[in-house]
Structure formats: structure tokens, C-alpha cells
Structure 1
Amino acid sequence: MKKFILFILVAIPLFLASCSSDDIRFSIPGVDDQMHLAASEESVTLEQDKGEETAITFTWGEAQDRGEGTKINYYFKMDLEGNNFENSISKIYIPEGQNSVSFTHKQLNSYLKMWGVSTGTTAVVEGEIIAEVTGADHYMKPEISTTTVNVTGYEIQPRNLYIFKADATEGEGVLMEEVLSETKYSYAGALLAGDYKIAVDAESDAVLTFHVEKDGFCVVNADLSTGEQPTITYPTPEIDKLYMVGNACAAGWNIGASLEMTQDPVNKFLFTWIGQLSAGELKFPLDTPSDWNCDFIMAASENQSITDSRAVKRTSPDTKWQVLSGEAGKYKVTVDTYHMTVTFEKQKEVVVPSDLPIKNIWIWGSATSNGWNYPFLLPLEYDTNAAKGTFVIETTLTEGELKFGLENDPNKGVNIEWLRPLSKDVTNDLAPLSASDLQVLGQSPDYKWKVEASQAGNYKISINVIDMKVKFEKK
């Protein structure tokens, strides 16, 4: 008996050692591939212009019947060949009765980017259909079928979309910002109330449509992936007055003499000024400046070039734009207080013929954005492309009155000569916009043109000082 027990004690360690050196493995049998996954193309070169078109379709047959009470659920995976599906796209559940799955040019290109495939490189993409078994009284290996396809991607180029009036069939639209390639677009700017479409061009069908409730500044955000109408918001500007000061402009460093800028009547975030800039520095005080204790629109960095539009609202540090001596000239300065940018557009130096009887004209009145405020801020520009003696301005007119001043001298104020309608067209000192004949008069009689409420809008106004005619063209 002792010998038997000793034998057992010796045999047990030997048995345990045998188990630890040789794992016991259980082999679960699988099934042969009956589904035979196939791709519609052996190779495909993706194209951005075909973004929403189908590039590849994978199809398969039914999986093997795994016995009474079982059910087959199908799932699809896709990855680069050799990755063992470790970087696969999210597993796709295939609804019952469906035996195919398709991918667009845009989808496949985005997957290639996700997998790190360089543009123009052909990648071998592997698809896998998995037939999982449920309802069995024991685990059954899924039936699996794979296939490969050669795919070449593209470099994503910007896809411009524009905003047009809903009924537009020609003309240029307003360019939207492409926030997310071919998917999310945005626009922040002025629009008049009405219906609009977002499209590639005026002749194209609308990608999306939307309605603007009121004239003014709005923000339009569109997400093409949802197909829903864009969201429209109407931000209100915090800045109602803006001025310019500095030794680069006529105000110098006299804060009380700061030059008032013109607020756009529709896009109230925009302020403009046109005039001469000389070598020096400048910045933009807010509100009505009486001393230096106010906020400013300042350059983002010290001695910032006028080619750099970056701007900030602050009191310090005292960073300014610098106009170099070689940059001096006539400029249109535009401050966008929504996007916080300042642009300086040098104006073409126009020589007004010396033999013209009138060489300077300003529009003034309650129908203009200048109102009855002095000095005059809306000059007409001499048009070298029109008939000799023609001055033009494109501006917004509202209900009110207007006339044209011939001088802008602070020593004289409004005690100057004016272009006015002829007396034959005047009733109660007012003439309609259709009255085109001009005369030069002083302060009296105070003949003016009347803009009716129904006539408000954007206009191109042309005056010929030789023919003494004015033309109001609504745009």
C-alpha cells in the first residue's frame, strides 16, 4: 500500500508538468464560404465630381443554413488588405433580405484618407461579409467571405457654392465659406429680405433654399449632409459709430478731429471711408471721441502693414497700422466689425479734366447714409469709362430727400453751390427721381429730389456736368 501511495505522489507532478508544457486546444469547426463576396469593379479611380455617385457595390449570396432554430445576421467590414480589419470602418449591420452594400466616391476617398493612403496611390481594399449565427444551443463560428478591390483616391479641391435670389437665372452670387469640405458652408454678411437658393451657379438647381426675414446682416449656416434648410441668425452690432485718427490721415493726432466713417445702411457691421492717406500711423476710435479714454479698433501687432487686415477691439497695447511713404495715396478703408478686419484698397488716381465746369460732387440728404450730417462723406467719382464729364456713385437710398454739394470746405459748411432739379420739375421744393435736368443754385431755393418709400434700394447715380443731367438707376 505504501508503494502505491508513493507511486501516486511521484506521478502527479509528472502529469501536471505535462499539462503545462502542452496546451489543450479545442478546435471549433467552421463552414465553407457559400456567400462568395464579390465587388462590382476590380479597380476604381475615384473622382471628386462624382462624389455622391456609387463607386463600388459589394454583393454576396445567402450563408449556409445552420440548423433548426438558428438565425443569420449579416455584417460588413472594410479595411486595407493585410490590416486584419484592425482599422476597419465601423461594422455595418445589413438589414434582413439585403445582399449588397455600396459606397460612393466621396465615402471611399474619406476612408482612404482615414487609413493614411496618399493621394494618387492605389490601395488594395479588402471587404468582408460576416454571417453571425444566433439562436443555436451552442456557439457556432460565423461564415466569412472576403474579396479585394484596387482603389485610387483624389486630392479634395474646394467646391464653391453661392447664394442667389431664388428666381435668379443669371448673374454672380455671393460666395459662401466652405467650412467642411463639400458638407458645411457658411456666410456672414448683408442680405435683403426674401427667398434665396444655394447653388453652384445661377442656372443650376438649388442645393438648399432659405428665407431671410428682414434686410440687414445675417449669418447663414448650411449642412448639406442633413438636407435640412440652413439656419439663419441676425446678430446685432455693438458698434454704432466709428472714427479714424492718426497722422496718416487729415485728423492727425487730434482726437476731437477724428474722421467719421460711414456705416453701411444694410450691413451695419461695415464702416467705410474714402480719402487721402499719407505716411504715418492710424487707428479707429469708437463712439464720439472727446478724449483718448475710449475703446479702439487696433492693429493686431505693432507697426502693422496696411496689407495685413487683422484687427482687435481694445484700449491697449497701442498697436497701429503704418502707412509707408511709398504707399501714400487715395484709399477706400473698410472696417468689418463682425469679422474684425480692416482693409485698405488703393484707389485709382483719376485726373478730372481741367476744362470741366464742375470737378467735385457729393451726395447729401436724409435719403443717404450720411443724412443731414456735415462734412459730406459720399463723393461721386469721375468715371473715365463713361462720356466726358460723368461722375458716378453706387450707394443705398432710403425714403427721404437729397441734393448734390459742389464743395466740402469746413470753412464754408453748407453755404455753397448745389446741383438741384430744374424748377419745372419741382412741387413744394421737391422733384421725383425721374427729374433728370440739373441747375446750379446757391442756398435758395432749396430744391431737392424726393425718394419715396417704394423706391428705396441700391442705386447707381450718374451725373454729367456737361449735359447737366442726372440718372438714378436702381440695381
Structure 2
Amino acid sequence: MSQVLMFFFTLCVMSSCEGEKDLIVSDFKSPIHTKELYLVGDAVPTGWSFEDPTPMQCSETDPYIFVYKGQLHEGEFKVSLAPTSSLDVDFIRPIYYGQEIGKEPLEAVKFQMHADNPDEKWLVVANGTYELTFNLRDWTLSTEYLGEFVQPEVAPIETETLYIVGSATSIGWNVGNALETAKKSKYIFEYECWLNEGELRATTKRAWGYHIRPVTDHVKIGKDGIENENFMYVWDPDINWLVTDPGNYHLTFDLENWTLKTEFLGGENPDRPSDKDPIETSTLFMVGDATVNGWNGDAMTALTRDASDSHVFTYEGNLYAGEFKVYPKSGDEYPSWDAIRPLGGNRPITKTDITEEEFDYSLNPDYKWVVKDAGKYRLTLNLSKWTMSCSYLGTLEDIEIPVNPIETEEFFILGDAAPSGWDIYNPTPVTRVSKYIFVYDGHLNAGRMRATPVKDWGIHVRPKSDNSPIGINGVASSGFIYTANPDYNWNVEKAGNYKLTFDLEHWTIKAEYKD
């Protein structure tokens, strides 16, 4: 076969993509020609930033060898040939979804490259420093675990900009609007502002990735200064300074010597609200992915009005890892309404009690309470004092959801197991065979999946327990739930052809493995 015929044979095989991509690992593959190679995913320093991915280094002696030497933490990644704003491009991927990268080395394991789905990614299972070697001539990956995180050597940080971000700042964790400091000299940046009680870090650009952090987690900043002036410029570990005394501060960052000096100036918070009239309402609702029904405005979680004080509302129940805010009424139009929200930035909800902390009632900025420790909580909002109290009551409780027929004209599956992956705007359709019966008859990959009647995130059809298996013996449990939380999924144990039958009237699923 001539080289021309072989080239067109390769193109035809790689582009025959009606349905699942064929795996190509034959000796007929030509080397991948590129001058750049990047990692993208939550396991790498720049996260899922496709336009600003984590670069690899090309070997000086072999243009087909690319090496990444640096930090990885538990999570997923794939490889792009260039920064991109489109996801409809070819990515370098493992042969199967979830191929593990950890302390045990991989030696010249084959990879594949294609666009679209299935969206295979590598899975990093151990935090640490790694050396990854991609051979674009042989289409292979080798890995070596170099050890745990090592504090980097101090070297001047060259930048024109420096920002601060965190729950202690007025913008919370909104890194896209991080507060810009003033450049005083080549390496000295200063900022004077009000800081709330909460966490703080600095960054050279308004993006996630390498940030300026303390040398240990929660180095305290307060009235008496800073506990330890030294800082690191790292992506991981994900640690922050902790402001313990709210007040006006003067911050001085030295990017040459990697130090932060702080001066407590005292004074009043310019954003602190003046005395306000009580918020008058007979109802109060929570909405957010920390609640059972997520961001569904028509299914907000109601708080209970106190019988002895009409301005006091309480909630006692599960809160999941995520965000929430509070509204006097429910409905899908809630993004255009004033909300009850924390004052001065996003506010973590943890096992530590919050006692009568002031809140705000406004449309913007869009601050939210952020649940860090999932569990059962008691929340108390006093609409007369404009305060919120919170107590952790214990671990998450099982919840009973009433079974009512799910009314829908269409139904979909999505997830790693589904042919369309996690693309919520183009999920894999399921055929309607009667008013409440929907059947999917086709291929499933190994991996997690759920179902949904709408092309949107929020309330989905899920198993009653996480990772409930689907395999050659069918489904482990026939019952399902219809909720945003807990974020449970089925786990397809073996790739193959399946017949899935969803009964939306009785909330059951049947699974038949065909081959």
C-alpha cells in the first residue's frame, strides 16, 4: 500500500464517527505533529481552562516527546494540542475512561485521539509531583511519581498585576472580579481595604491556577499582624490565610522575597448596612445546589416560620456541599429578585457554629453561603435583626421523596456511561414507548450515569444510593429518586449493549445486559 493510500486509510478510519469512536492503536498511525501540548482538567494547575491550559515542554532532542514535570492532584485530565475556545476538537485521551495515574508507574501505555464522545480522561488517584512523558511518535504515555508536594524555592515573581480574592474580601471567591492591588515598584504591591473574618489568597491574574498562599493553612491575620510573613507561589496545596479580626488593613506583598506584611487599621466597614426596617414576609425559601432541589426556583426549600415571632424562620435538615441563598418567595424568576445573602462576600458553612451574623438583602453582589461540610444543620434567620445563625447537627440523613408521576415528553441519559457523555445540552435520548415508560436500547460505556427529562442541570433521576451498579446481572436496585441532591449516579460496571427501561410513574428502572 502506498503512503498516499495509507494516509487516506488512516483519515477514513479516524473520521468514521457516526456513533462511538473506533479505537485505533495500530502500527499504521502517523506521528502527531504539533509544536505545543497542554494538560487540561481538575487534576492539573490551570483546571478546566481550555483557553489557558497547563503547558508541557517539548524535548530539545526529539520533537515528538513532550514532558510535564510538576504537581497533580486527585482528579481528571486529558490533553489538547493548543489552547481552544471550542470543545469540538481532537483531544489526546486514554484508551479507556478512568485509566489511573498514581504512585505505580505507567510504561509506554497506548493512548488515542479524537473529538466528541466518549469523553475519556485519565484519573489521578494520588496527590503529588509527577513526570509525564507523551511520545507522539508511538502514541504512548509513561508516568513517574516523584514524591509528595515539595515547597518551591523562592524566586522573584515577574508580573504587572496582583489581585486578592477570598471570603475575607468584598468580592468573595469571585476570581473573575478579584480586587486589584497597586504596584509600587517592580516587586512590591500594596492594597488597603476592609477585610471580613474569613480566608484570603492572592493571584497574579484573575484565574484559577498558581496562587500566592501562606506556607501552612490558615496562617492568621489579625489586630496583632500576621503570624508568619512568608508565602508560597503554588497551585497545590489549596491553602489560605485566615483573617480573624474584621477591620481595615494595609497589605504589602513582596514578590521578590515572598513575604506579606499586614497592618491593622481598625475603623468601620464602609459596606456595613445602616439600621434597616424588618423584612416583612410570610414565607422564606432557600435555593442552591446545597439544597435538595438545587437551583430549581419552582422547587425551593421552605423554612418554617416561628409561631411566637413572625420575623424568625428556621430550617432543620440536610445541606449538601455547594451554595445557597434565601428568598421571601419562590419561582423561576428568582435571579431578578433581591435575595437574603451573606454580607461582604461568600460565607463558608462548616461544623463551626455561626451566631447572629449579619446578612444583606440585595440583588448584587451575588454573594452566597457556601456549605463546606455536608451534613444536617439548623439555620435560623431573624428578619427583624437581619441576622443568621447556623448549627451543625450531624451527618446527612436519608430523605424520603414522595413518588409522583414525572410528566415529560422526552427523556435522556447522561454521564460517562452515556454515548453523549456529560453534555447536558446534547444528552443521549431515550425512546418514549408509553406515557410514563421510556426505553434506551444501545451501547453504554463503563462509568457513571443518571437520567433527566430536561436539558439542564438541577433535579435529575438518580439511584437511591451512590454508585448503584448496573451490569451483566441488571441493576442492583430498581427504585430511583428524582432530586438535585444527593448527587448520586448509577455505575455501569461493564461496557456493552444494554436495554434500560425507566418507569416514570412508579420511579423504577430495569436494566438488561444484551452483549
TM-score (norm 1): 0.25
TM-score (norm 2): 0.23
Question: Greater helix share, 1 or 2?
Answer: 1
Greater radius of gyration (CA): 1
More contact order relative to length (CA 8 Å, sep ≥ 6): 2
